Amino acid sequence: MRSLCTVNTFHSSTSVLIRCIRVDPCSLSVLRLASGWMLLLVLLLTSCVPSVTDRAAQPTPLPTDALPTPRLEGIAAERREVRFVSGDVELAGELDLPIGSGPHPLVFIIHHSGPVPRDAYGYLAEILLRSGYAVFRFDKRGTGASGGVYGCCESDDALAAYRAAVAQPGVDHCRVFIAAQSIGTQHLAMRFEEYAQVQAPRGVALLSSLLHASDIVRIAAPIIIIVADSEPDLNAIGPEAAAAHNARFPASAALYVADGAEHTLFDIRDGPIDWTDPAWVDRYHRGAMRALVQQLDAWQTPQHPCNR
């Protein structure tokens, strides 16, 4: 396992946003039309008005991923269903509390992209509960037990979920941590001040981070960047981002680069991940998850004071 605060390498099956340009025949010049064709011109222009479907791009469905029920028996003292509102939609989440007396340190998870429910992070709940952490996961809008339709408001929904999570009994407000993954790191950076107003986190884990130097400094909290060694933009999201954060907030950033991992930090040294096979949950990168837990533990030492 590579050590914290050192520069290693990165692996990914990164998502790529492709900006498509469609040639619209309605934009072709009509100057050649004779004046006697004015009625036809009106009809042509009317047909150029986009349909409702054109105006609202529909999300592309993901392949049917296997989402096994997390194996929390014997490691969770309570699995609490939590309902909360974002805008005018009721969403559903779950607070998993570890065995032992509370209040407990909390890890709040901000999802990666796609219409995924809470069980997409069931494997992470297992890891963290075994280490004594409470975990809050939620169903994205339009998935699982959450209402609404997937495709909007992810940043708003994540912030609403955070408010609900830190308000739960059994949570130690002095030990609240945020684990954001992939696009979730961007949602968090964009609105970090709002998160801090609800409850300043004691530390932030940026899993599969997408943040460059200019954005990562928005997160005014200790951070650990955990990325895979195959990321095409590794230097910018890894060592350069960590250096920028440390320049703004001295000794505040750690970096771990997972060898042989894909973008979401699953181990591909034995081949690619088949997300339709329930066994994918057992292929998380051991080094990356060990680095996460070790950093969470380190943030609870006297060197990192409580932010109430």
The position carrying tokens 């709940």 is 125
As a whole number, mean pLDDT of residues 18-22 equals 25
Q: How confident is the model at residue 69 (pLDDT cuts 50, 70, 90)?
A: confident
As a whole number, mean pLDDT of residues 120-129 equals 95
**Phi and psi at residue 233, to the nearest 5°:** -110, 35
As a whole number, mean pLDDT of residues 26-34 equals 33
pTM of the predicted structure, to 2 decimals? 0.80
Rounded-to-integer distance, Cα 299 and Cα 25, Å: 59
Rounded-to-integer distance, Cα 136 and Cα 122, Å: 10
How many residues in the chain? 308
Q: Mind listing the pLDDT tens digit for each residue in 192-250? A: 999 999 999 999 999 999 999 999 999 999 999 999 999 999 999 999 999 999 999 99
pLDDT for position 55:
27
Residue type, 99: I
Torsion of CA 93, 97, 103, 109, to 10 degrees: -50
How many CA atoms within 13 Å lie on the side-chain side of 39? Answer: 1
pLDDT for position 303:
67
* Percent of the chain whose pLDDT exceeds 90: 71
- Asked whether residue 308 carries a pLDDT value surpassing 70, the answer given is no
Averaged pLDDT score across all residues of the chain: 82
pLDDT for position 68:
78
Rounded-to-integer distance, Cα 203 and Cα 200, Å: 9
Establish whether the linkage from the previous residue to 25 is cis, with ω within 30° of 0: no
What structural domains does the chain harbor?
76-298 (3.40.50.1820)
For every residue of 133-155, DSSP letters joined together read -EEEEEPPTTSTT--S-SSS-HH
As a whole number, mean pLDDT of residues 244-271 equals 96
Specify whether the CB–CB gap between 202 and 177 falls below 8 A: yes
pLDDT for position 307:
63
Specify whether the CB–CB gap between 212 and 241 falls below 8 A: yes
Rounded-to-integer distance, Cα 245 and Cα 248, Å: 5
Rounded-to-integer distance, Cα 136 and Cα 179, Å: 10
Q: How confident is the model at residue 65 (pLDDT cuts 50, 70, 90)?
A: low
As a whole number, mean pLDDT of residues 289-300 equals 97
**Phi and psi at residue 36, to the nearest 5°:** -70, -10
Specify whether the CB–CB gap between 255 and 223 falls below 8 A: no
- Asked whether residue 17 carries a pLDDT value surpassing 70, the answer given is no
Q: Using only the alpha carbons of the chain, give its radius of gyration.
A: 23
Q: How confident is the model at residue 70 (pLDDT cuts 50, 70, 90)?
A: confident
pLDDT for position 92:
98
Specify whether the CB–CB gap between 307 and 197 falls below 8 A: no
